[in-house]
Chain A
Amino acid sequence: MHRAAFLALLSHWRRQPLQLIALLFGLAAATALWTGVQAINQEARSSYDAAASALGQGTEQRLTGEGPIPRETFIALRRAGWLVSPVVEGQVNGVTLLGVDPFTLPPMAASPNLQGDRLGAFLNNGLILANADTAPALAGYNVETAANIPDAQATMDVTTAWEVLGKTGFDYLVVTSPQPMGLPPLTEVAPGLTQVTEEAAGDIANLTRSFHLNLTAFGLLSFAVGLFIVHAAIGLAFEQRRSMFRTLRALGLPARNLTLLLAGETAVFALLAGALGVVLGYGVASMLLPGVAGTLRGLYGASVPGSLTLDLSWVLSGFAITFAGASVAAASSLWRVATLPILAPARPRAWAMASVRGRLLQAGAGALLLVISAVIIAQGEGLVAGFAMLGALLFGAALMLPFFLDLSLRAAAFVVRGVLGQWVVADTRQQVPGMSLALMALLLALAANIGVGTMVSSFRATFTGWLDQRLASELYLTAQTPAQAAALEALLDAEADATLPLRTAQARLVGAPAAILGVVDHVTYQQGWPLIEAAPDPWARMNAGEGAFINEQLWRRTGLAMGDRLELLPGWSLPIVGVYTDYGNPEGQAMVAQPELLARVPDLSPLRYAARVAPERVEDLRKAAEALGVPAGNILDQASVKRFSLDVFERTFLVTGALNVLTLGVAAIAILASLTTLASMRLPQLAPVWAMGLTRARLARLELLRAALFAALTFLFALPLGLAVAWMLLSVVNVQAFGWKLPMLAFPVEWLRLLALALLAALLAAALPAWRLGRMAPSRLLKVFADER
């Protein structure tokens, strides 16, 4: 009996292949987007872990000095019993080179595999070890591949690093934990060194946490949009099979068994869709990972490989989420089957006749979520609260959508003249319950697009304006050696209108790694560094060495106020007299008068310069600098720096853009699925109108119009919602995630483009059902009158 019943249930899908495709695709798409995002997050986290273990521990104790640490200091420390290991660090072709001493590396470090001849080559022949992805970037060096080296890193002996990087001395010494008891104090053995806790890897993980949370939130949104399709497809299939359920029950199949059979059917679909979803998810992750890697590099300087590793746990979690999603989507339908009276009316009606009370209840639940969102705005703190607020806002609004659509169409009925217009409006209103899930999916996709789009465009406009101000100098030059720098400075003093040497010292400000920027007194800075908070007469005070500026990130993170004293270096603190915007910088930064900085850190490498020069003389100055031996790549004009910065910016939001498009695509499929399924259920409404003298072609055109009307109304609701999302992203989430706040700007042209895209998506989705209606055989329409006899 059960086999026969199961086959009877499955026969529905044979007759409704498009519905089956919608169901499987919806579930697979939901799974794919979710698992894809999870795979990316997992890959990135593995990378951070690998980077963390490269030198032994996530939290690293280091000895640092104000310049390179001499070899003698290292030897003195070792002789005194300190377990320290020297590191030379630098960048070549975007690869971080780590010069290490294999004999003194901490035992927990991921030591390079130096068995056999490799050790000799490592120590004596300049062997560099990098993983297979990174090795090509070091072409020309003696590189061998080693699997355990993190991406974008290369390991070599310290002497090799000195040669490659042109350095002398060590950048820092790693302190092995634990140290032997009874060591002489550091001040005695190496007075110039200080011990710092460097949470390098931890910092990256912390910095990127917000980005991954952002990605997870997008994944969850896409998953929810996909589940709307599944819920709609399962719900409609339930409606269409009501008479079959009644017959099966009448023939002796208990309700419990029928429910179990339907649950089994859902499980089969989940298995199929899960397999498809995991494969698609792998594809999505592979497609997005290079973008994500670029974003992470651009935003945080974190290195993540651009290729994906397949992990069994990820595959299993993909199937688990498919089953969970299918269960959630099917729960209400299964409950209704389990409690369906045996003589319940067989006519599909629940969708069309959804009660006003149900709609009001749903709108009430939506309003409640909006209130919760408002409460979180007022009370909540932190990134998770920010996303909870966004979630409550989005889903609250989605629940209110059918009510809003009904209200709008009711209002439209008073305005529209002409019998056909009135019928279209009334009929569209009748379709709201059946279309509401798909339209909710569209609403979420549109609001996310408007919200994220407004955020990115606001960011872009602000960032571009900020770059125009900040990059006021016409040329940026970097010398290779102090001698070359001296010659360059002399050249610039003679030829440029102004020479602005750039001096930066690394420090820890309020417990976190940061940079101190020393600037000279020049009008360029006053014009190019807008202050968002300032004490009276800030520039004069800063230039006189009586105050410091800090960037917005440090200001927001620490809560420091104007006048508070900031310890810049041990024994040197200044009151804060200004806060400047510093987009794109993940770290804190302070700006002080250069003479003051040089007085305290005299050996700051004087290699970088900005030059003010009339635009027509830029080329001459460039050539003169090249004549001094400054490589062409080290002379950047204003336009190149801007181009580079904007390029980093665009890469940063590549993933967001891709996910936006994917979510909108999934929503379009939700509309297609709903329209296709509803098409056959709508024939009883369309056939009489056809019989009264409307051609099928005209009815088809009206169906297209109806889909466009739905999309336009949904867009109208999505616009304020999306702007609310943008405001939350800019004013709450971004401040938590990145440490800077941006002004919100309006982009009406973008909205029009999105409206056009939404209309296009709806029209494309409606095209197939409309085309089928336009070409439908009259006998099929006449069956409506015969079927019901």
Chain B
Amino acid sequence: MLLNVRNVSKSFPGEPPVEVLKGVSLDLRAGESLALTGESGSGKSTLLHIIGGLESADAGSVTLDGVELSGMKDADLADVRRRHIGVVFQQFNLIPSLNVHDNLIFHARLAGRQDNAWTNHMAGALGLTEMLRRYPEQLSGGQQQRVAIARALAGKPKLMLADEPTGNLDEDTGDRVMELMLALTAEAGTGLLMVTHSPARAGALDSQITLSHGRLS
């Protein structure tokens, strides 16, 4: 099992405290893709952040490839993110100071796993070969998101987390980006956990689960 999430709970401070996740559990096998759906405020992004080691859970455990993330120190969590997890955000979040090529290889180089052949292959598959010297501000939204996907997969991580990766794109561009992302994660053998609002996009993945009021339904 690649990912094991057991009874994860999370609250945010407030009067009264807001309970976002209430004992959530899920599993993901290596190379498998799973869609996480749910209405706004249901806790999807929070769960994704906890799995990615970006945020800590109040209770429960997250195990990635046999390594327990809960209770890890900040530096160790950062190491896990660097080596084993790729992240794609809705807003692309490319590094504006680096060109497409440098953005693309950035995460892989951080992880010390740069593979030029694989990077070139991805760039070709994603149609980025002609724009490697451009800067993010010179790209369209669809192009930026393709760079973000390539960046997340460049180091062939064990797990890719995608938070509404097509949320900012039009329908056709979103379809194309989804298609490429699924093809490349399958090719890299990377597990994919994707947050989405769209039932159609969720349907394209191996399986889907829905969060409602902090619980899986």
Contacts and interface: CB of A to CB of B under 8 A. Distances in A.
Interface of A: 352-353, 419-420, 422-423, 426-427, 429-430, 684-685, 687-698, 778-779, 781-782, 784-786, 788-789
A378 B173 CA distance: 64
Contact of A426 (B12, B98, B109): B98
B84 to A, nearest CB: 9
- Which of B54, B55, B75, B164 has the most chain A CB atoms closer than 10 A to its own CB? B54
A336 to B, nearest CB: 20
24 contacts: A353-B137, A419-B106, A419-B109, A422-B98, A422-B102, A423-B98, A426-B97, A427-B95, A427-B97, A430-B97, A687-B93, A688-B87, A688-B93, A691-B54, A693-B79, A694-B78, A694-B110, A695-B75, A695-B78, A697-B74, A778-B54, A784-B93, A785-B89, A789-B90
Contacts of A420: 110
B86 to A, nearest CB: 8
Contact of B110 (A429, A685, A692): A692
A430 B96 contact: yes
Interface string B90-119: 110111111000100111011100000000
B96 A691 contact: no
A325 B137 CA distance: 36
A781 B106 CA distance: 19
Contacts of A694: 78, 82, 110
A657 to B, nearest CB: 40
Contacts of A689: 95
Contacts of B49: 778, 782
The prevalent SS among residues of B at the interface is mixed
Nearest to A695: B78
Contacts of A786: 45
Nearest to A353: B137
Given A693-B110, A784-B93, A789-B164, 9 more contacts: A426-B95, A426-B97, A688-B94, A691-B52, A692-B110, A693-B78, A693-B85, A693-B111, A695-B78
A423 B106 contact: yes
B60 to A, nearest CB: 17
Given A419-B106, A419-B110, A692-B107, A684 B83 contact: no
A685 B97 contact: yes
Contacts of B54: 691, 778, 781-782
B23 interface: no
Contacts of B85: 693
A692 B167 contact: no
Contacts of B111: 693
B74 A789 contact: no
A78 B106 CA distance: 98
Given A419-B106, A782-B55, A695 B95 contact: no
Contacts of A419: 105-106, 109-110
Nearest to A693: B82
Contacts of A430: 96-97
B21 to A, nearest CB: 14
A693 B95 contact: no
Contacts of B90: 785, 788-789
A89 B85 CA distance: 90
Contact of A429 (B12, B52, B55, B97): B97
Interface centre among A429, A697, A698, A789 (most CB of B within 10 A): A789
Interface band, chain B? 35 or more
A495 to B, nearest CB: 80
A785 B94 CA distance: 12
B156 interface: no
The A interface, classified by DSSP as helix, strand, loop or mixed, is helix
Q: Which residue among B95, B107, B110 has the maximum number of chain A CB atoms within 10 Å of its CB?
A: B95
5 A-B pairs closest in CB distance: A693-B82, A419-B109, A430-B97, A426-B97, A693-B81
Given A419-B109, A691-B87, A782-B55, A789 B167 contact: yes
Contact of A788 (B91, B106, B107): B91
Contacts of A426: 95, 97-98, 102
A789 B91 contact: yes
A420 B112 CA distance: 11
A685 B81 contact: no
Nearest to B87: A691
Interface in B157-192: 163-164, 167
Contacts of B74: 695-697
A786 B163 CA distance: 10
B137 A688 contact: no
A423 B95 contact: yes
Contacts of B97: 423, 426-427, 429-430, 685
Contacts of B78: 690, 693-695, 698
B130 to A, nearest CB: 21
Contacts of A788: 90-91
Nearest to B84: A693
Contacts of B91: 785, 788-789
B14 to A, nearest CB: 13
Contacts of B45: 782, 785-786
Nearest to B151: A692
B137 to A, nearest CB: 7
Contacts of A423: 95, 97-98, 102, 106
A781 B95 CA distance: 15
A779 B20 CA distance: 14
Contacts of B93: 684, 687-688, 691, 784-785
Nearest to B109: A419
A420 B82 CA distance: 13
Nearest to A422: B102
A685 B163 contact: no
A779 B110 contact: no
Nearest to A789: B90
Contacts of A684: 93
Given A685-B95, A789-B90, A692 B137 contact: no
Interface in B174-214: none
A70 to B, nearest CB: 87
Interface in B59-75: 74-75
A333 B10 CA distance: 44
Contacts of A782: 45, 49, 54-55
A407 B56 CA distance: 42
B154 to A, nearest CB: 11
A239 to B, nearest CB: 15
Given A353-B137, A426-B97, A785-B93, A692 B87 contact: yes
B61 to A, nearest CB: 18
A691 B109 contact: no
Nearest to A785: B89
A430 B137 CA distance: 12
A788 B102 CA distance: 23
Contacts of A687: 93
A684 B96 CA distance: 10
B209 to A, nearest CB: 21
B136 to A, nearest CB: 11
B55 A779 contact: yes
Nearest to B114: A419
Nearest to A699: B78
A685 B103 CA distance: 12
A775 to B, nearest CB: 11
A694 B95 CA distance: 14
A420 B95 CA distance: 12
A687 to B, nearest CB: 7
A785 B106 contact: no
A429 B96 CA distance: 11
Given A422-B102, A789-B164, A693 B83 contact: yes
Nearest to B99: A426
A427 B96 CA distance: 8
A786 B12 CA distance: 15
Contacts of A778: 49, 54-56
Contacts of A697: 74-75
Interface string B1-26: 00000000000100000000000000
B10 to A, nearest CB: 11
